[in-house]
Amino acid sequence: MKALVTGAAGFIGSHCAERLKKMDFEVVGIDNFSPYYSPDLKDRNAKDLKEAGIPIVMVDLREPKDYKKLDTDFDYIFHFAAQPGIAATSSFEDYLMNNLVATKNLIDFALKCEGLKLFTNISTSSIYGLRATLTEDAAPEPASFYGVTKLAAEQIVLSKTREQKMKTCSLRLFSVYGPRERPEKLYTKLIGCGFFHQEFPLFEGSEAHVRSFTFVDDIIDGVVSVIGKEDAIDGEVINLGTEQEHTTAEGFAIVEELLDTKIRKDIVPKRGGDQMFTKANIEKARRLLNYNPSTTLKEGLEKQIAWYRKEFVD
């Protein structure tokens, strides 16, 4: 069996590629090595994958000509690549091109893969809007360019099931954290501030935000569980995340406890589109995928701190 993983040098994509390899898949990873965040971190991830026998091909999904670098004999495609998050440095055109146009081009490529069993789109709880607590059949209310373009990309993917051109599904992920998390994300930045005794820039009011912080291994359990269930999940949207809820303040305190330090806070103006409350409703994932995330926030943060210490401190 052969799988293509887009965004394979990134946070969650790299973990998925490694898991598939351990499941005896032939895995090809692609990434455009965007400078959106530290090229050094992506290079580290790519090095780990190459050492595991997973080739990384430099492909920009926005460029149709780049697809000529790829074979068309894939059984599964896992589409992680995207313009992520909410950032003042990202324009609407960045989100449009990287999330929507790139996905449309990838679908065109996927339609040439005659043996393709399933196209799995990796989506986000940001589609639900500022309070992401709903089931998959609720009306989306995205409140950011990121959420809007990810919703549009999701619908383009699922339209291929409606057209009966290929089998598809879309997985909406909730607040993923863990080793290799991007440097601008909450816990990597917070852990770095703890180790190096720096102030942490905290968005005004965000300490009270509630999140389904989900450890990356639990997310990958759900992602790879789609394999072999193509008929049951064709055309479906499925939430993946933990039902455990924690405020940002609680997560902050756990990191301080594990590092045995106090981290100074620099309160900065709140940002538009930031979710106030997320709780993953995973009844559908339990029913269709037998999904059962089990890692506590403290257990996951212990592993993330160990990774950070090994990569950036020792």
Residue positions annotated with a catalytic role: 146
Q: Would the CA dihedral through 252, 253, 259, 263 be positive or negative?
A: positive
| Closest to 283 (Cα-Cα) out of 166, 153, 138 | 138
| Closest to 174 (Cα-Cα) out of 258, 293, 94 | 293
Show the 3-state SS of the chain: CEEEEECCCCHHHHHHHHHHHHCCCEEEEEECCCCCCCHHHHHHHHHHHHHCCCCEEECCCCCHHHHHHCCCCCCEEEECCCCCCCCCCCCHHHHHHHHHHHHHHHHHHHCCCCCCCEEEEEEEHHHHCCEECCCCCCCCCCCCHHHHHHHHHHHHHHHHHHCCCCCEEEEEECCEECCCCCCCCHHHHHHHHHHHCCCEEEECCHHHCEECCEEHHHHHHHHHCCCCCHHHHCCEEEEECCCCCEEHHHHHHHHHHHHCCCCCEEEECCCCCCCCEECCCCHHHHHHHCCCCCCCHHHHHHHHHHHHHHHHHC
